[in-house]
Amino acid sequence: MSVNGHVFGTRIKRLREAMDLSLRDLAERSGVSAPMLSQVERGETSPTLSVAERIAAGLELSLSQLLRLDETDGVSVVRASERRRGGGPRHRYEVLTPPLPGLRAEVSLHSLAAGASTAEPDDPPMHEPGSRETAVVLAGALALVVDGTRHELGEGDSVTFDADLPHHFENDGEEPTEFVAVIAAGLRRS
């Protein structure tokens, strides 16, 4: 298999920037020098397999993911019967995105019973620093409590917030609530 050096270098740079890493950050994470990374990103040199594997590890990918060897047509379908499910009787969720390594966002469908909440008010945040979450209410009414501040949402409303802050959703209504949540992990705040 032949890998175009410029395309490969551009992919590394885009992945690095998407993770908000400097060349020095990636150098520390991968054990590959910043000057070598810079040359690879500019397509001036092609890394050995060993170096490419270390770069992949620094980007939290396998070598085949970095080289896109494990991709077929670039489409992943998650059938309703194959969704990852969790929660309990009062809060259920289904993860709609596939469990692909390196995936930087997760989409989930939530069902919240009347009087239920997704967590306790004093529970710590579950998401990594820099994460953002967007929720869209599909049915019912929903309250989002972020760092002690309450935000009321109705059917069709959406909200985006820093998900690394303490937060939870509440359904104070008499009917079940459904909402979709999208969590973008570790993206830079701008």
> Which whole-number Å values give the CA distances from 103 to 54, 91, 143, 161, 184, in the listed order?
19, 25, 28, 20, 9
Examine the fold and report which residue of 38, 67, 96 is the final residue of a domain before the chain moves on: 67
Range with lowest mean pLDDT among 53-57, 70-74, 91-95, 186-190: 186-190
pLDDT in the model for residue 177: 97
Express as a percent the part of the chain with pLDDT over 70. 87
Within this chain, do residues 84 and 172 fall inside the same structural domain, yes or no? yes
Within this chain, do residues 84 and 58 fall inside the same structural domain, yes or no? no
Contacts of residue 67, defined as CB under 8 A and 6 or more positions apart, other chains included, come to: 1, 3, 8, 52
pTM above 0.95, yes or no: no
pLDDT in the model for residue 69: 56
Higher pLDDT, 189 or 158: 158
Within this chain, do residues 84 and 176 fall inside the same structural domain, yes or no? yes
Within this chain, do residues 98 and 130 fall inside the same structural domain, yes or no? yes
What is the span of the domain harbouring residue 34?
Answer: 5-67
Q: What is the pLDDT of residues 1-13, one digit of tens each?
A: 345 667 788 889 9
Within this chain, do residues 150 and 111 fall inside the same structural domain, yes or no? yes
Report whether pLDDT(71) > 60: no
pLDDT in the model for residue 182: 95
